[in-house]
Amino acid sequence: MKALIPIELTDGGPSPDSLGVLERLAGQGLESWALVCGSSIQEVAQAVACHRCAGVLVAESESFATLAPERRAALIGDLIAQRGFAAVALATSVLATELAAQVAVRFDASVQ
Amino acid sequence: MKIAVCIKMMTGAAVDAADAFQRVGRTLPSVLPAFDTHAVEEALRIRERLGGEVVLVSIGAREGLGGLRQALGMGADRAILLSDPALADADTAGISRVLAALLQQEAPDLTLFSPWSGDIDGALLVAMTAARLGLPALGQLRSLDIADGRASGVRQAEAGNHALSCALPCLVEVNDSINKPRSVSLKGRAQANAKPVKLITLADLFGDAAPVLSQTQITDIAPAPVTRDPRLVSDKEAATELIALLRDHRILA
């Protein structure tokens, strides 16, 4: 099963909680892909790639600078449709809550 | 200005195992959750400043009326309680479908939530409901200002505070540091019983086409595991031991 784990950035780096989710799912045998969104994020993506995962997807754009979840939710929606991710897992945070809700409504899915 | 306040009733006593599996349909008498009193208080303050009405909206068992009367006693104008046995095990996504339909019918300028219900905490409902309505949502605000057709406030997030703003109508989640809720006066308590409470069912909103109410299931409930390893330090050596512990955990350099 393929899982997508959007990595939240804190202080310019990947949040430890997001990396924890990534490691945990990969440890359970899932094909876990990290998603890093933002601008000038090559170093962040490389740091994420050091963790256990099938790969890192990088979405580099100034448009991800906003706190609003719509842009990220649209991207995750496209990735689910194109690459067949069965689950999206996020570390709990204020921003992740809004993103999870947007993605769930887009796919008429539920959130655990 | 029409302000809706969404309230999730909480049972005032420990629930038994069978009832605990019912996410919405708990049948014990309810109380107004402390978190929700902050949303009610904020709505009352906005009404006092800008005029209008405060409508309480709740989904749950009829036993939830007790908690709604508490909020009416604080000063809200009227209440709507959607009660239907089919909702007993509805999950957050299901509730957001129902709530979105209810709010669409009521069409408030501003809808207030608290992020936590006190029993099941997800803080997802406001964002899911807003997404279904196609309205903006501001989550976890610790201050709120309504002016010039916009809602503005400061959100408390893990990495710091965010200043946010959006146009009305919108949905706003206020946390428990936003205000100090008023207590219910004797007069308020007496008036609460005379205020209108509209009881509706799913059929009133959806006719025969009930929405999907639950895509998830609670399969087990167990106490949270204790992960901390408490350690007692003696009075005499407390300062030294605590500093060493903080250094061990890299809290102190």
Residue A11, chain B, CB below 8 Å: the answer is yes
B72-81 average pLDDT score: 96
Residue B104 is predicted with a pLDDT of 96
Least confident among A94-98, B28-32, B113-117, B154-158: B28-32
Residue B87 is predicted with a pLDDT of 87
CATH of the domain at A96: 3.40.50.620
User: pLDDT above 90 covers what percent of chain B?
Assistant: 52
Considering the domain boundaries, does residue A33 fall inside one?
A: yes
Cα distances from B97 to residues A93, A112, B132, B205, in angstroms, run: 23, 16, 7, 11
Parse chain B into domains and list their residue ranges: 2-206
Pairing of strands A31-38, A2-6: parallel
Token representation of residue B186 = 């004797």
A111: closest CA of chain B, how far (Å): 7
Number of domains in chain A: 1
Considering only alpha carbons, which residue of chain B is nearest residue A94?
Answer: B157
Residue B45, chain A, CB below 8 Å: the answer is no
Specify the pTM.
0.83
What is the dotted CATH code of the domain comprising B2-206? 3.40.50.620
A96-107 average pLDDT score: 91
pLDDT tens digit string along B5-57?
Answer: 999 876 655 545 555 555 555 555 567 888 899 999 999 999 999 999 999 99
Residue A86, chain B, CB below 8 Å: the answer is no
pLDDT tens digit string along A56-95?
Answer: 999 999 988 877 788 899 999 999 999 999 999 999 888 8
Q: Do A94 and B91 touch (CB under 8 A)?
A: no
Residue A43 is predicted with a pLDDT of 92
Considering the domain boundaries, does residue A112 fall inside one?
A: no
